[in-house]
Structure 1
Amino acid sequence: MLTTTAIDRVVRAALDEDAPWGDITSDTLIPASASAEAELVAREPGVFSGGAVFAAAFAAADPAIRVELALADGAVFGVGDRIARVVGPARAVLLGERVALNLTQRLSGISTLTSRYVAAVAGTGARIADTRKTTPGLRALERHAVVAGGGSNHRFSLSDAVMAKDNHLAVLAAASGGSLADALRAARARLPHTMHLEVEVDRLDQVEEVVGAGVDTIMLDNFSLDDLRAGVALVAGRAAVEASGGVTLETVGDIARTGVDVISVGALTHSARAIDLGLDIELDSGTR
């Protein structure tokens, strides 16, 4: 869930970065009494995300600004659609404009890309999930955008679940001196019963040993389609099966049809292109 605290932290940091000592241009050129009315308009089709972030950026610039959202997060829009209306002191509207646009364009880009991946696996039962490959400082916002696009969230941070990847397993094998299954069982015994345990494998011959240790999810990393099908058959419902590694819009449908439960896609957040949204402003030199 995207909290007000998370939004405000990002917005205030962005405003401090963009206008550390105020907006010199607007303060010099725009009368203090001027008001502005602006519309957020789509320049291309997409899926909207970031309404609360957009409003928070302007509220941080000046609480007197009023933002009216025409679309909810997750709504589909077309070229020329009006997404929001902004009314308030002109200097403050101009101060908050770039931060509001940067964040909303970024988040809408993520939700739009996510929606395409979700559409590509429709009818298969597979879920599209994000990864920790997020922009530093923006994870909470970007994860929210994935959900707005119809996707699911993976673990939020290193503190949320045990996820043993190849480097963990290499160190574990060297340190334990025993079998991988025994080491995983010992780890499971130390965990609270509510803690999720996921293990990544990169070869079919690892599947039985890992699943037999009682893991909750097994990740099949960079498997071919044939090996994914074989891996799903080996697991046989004893754990959730996640596919990961090099997933694209062109390959995700075939991956989903192998029978995996989850497909994690780093590209949702690290490769999403910002959606083109514009803020069309009209200034009024008088007071109102």
Structure 2
Amino acid sequence: MSTSPGFDQVVSLLRSVGCVFAEEEAALLFAEATTTTELSRNIQRRMEGVPLEHILGWVDFAGARVSVEPGVFVPRRRTELLVRETLSVLRDDSLPASPVVVDLCCGSGAVGAAILRQAPQAELHAADIEPAAVRCARRNLEPRGGRVHAGDLFEALPLGLRGRIRILTVNAPYVPTVAIRTMPPEARLYEPAVSLDGGPDGLDFHRRIAAESIRWLAAGGHVLIETSRRQAAGTSEILAAAGFAIRTARAEELDGTVVIGRPIPARMRR
């Protein structure tokens, strides 16, 4: 585009490539661009399928802007249920003054940042295996006092956290491998496969987390795992088999599903 297009023209262009919320996206592109050249370039990138959030450099999540960058998983609105349920557990008066909260598979750190905004007293740790995600999470969490670790699930965490975690919040990949090819191109082409692929049935990471988490949780701790409505029964069965009492939270307005587990004391297990 050699000249800056008008708003209605941009809306039409975005609609032509399948953008459902073309008016809202156009408004953001106009508001965030500092020059006509930047605006034209960003419109072209969006028409090519680049996620709007990667173009803007931020996403609105749980009422605040969270920094994101190319190559980092974009947090979805449904994950706000994970934040909501975590904060509900944190309101328990029996928790210590500075409960340890771990955001595993943290991506951009959006979940941890939302938790710290509402519960700044928490000792928050986050971990991810993807270098770009770790870099992004540090920008979002470290100014708020959170600590971000690089590595594969629990291997990333300091050993000093073992047996101290009051809340383990997890948004691990849960898309079945064969389903990735049916995802929208902005996810399939621009987000790292490691943040999407949950194995043949989408539950490989849930199995690993269930098997290891009891050793890391404090007495009376909780694990909260985002899953899909279709996979909720499978996630629940995995946690139950690992020794957890479970319940499921569902928010229709977010299309969000979270399975919450609390370890059953060994003496009470069959």
TM-score above 0.5, yes or no: no
TM-score normalised over the length of structure 2? 0.33
Higher alpha-carbon Rg: 1
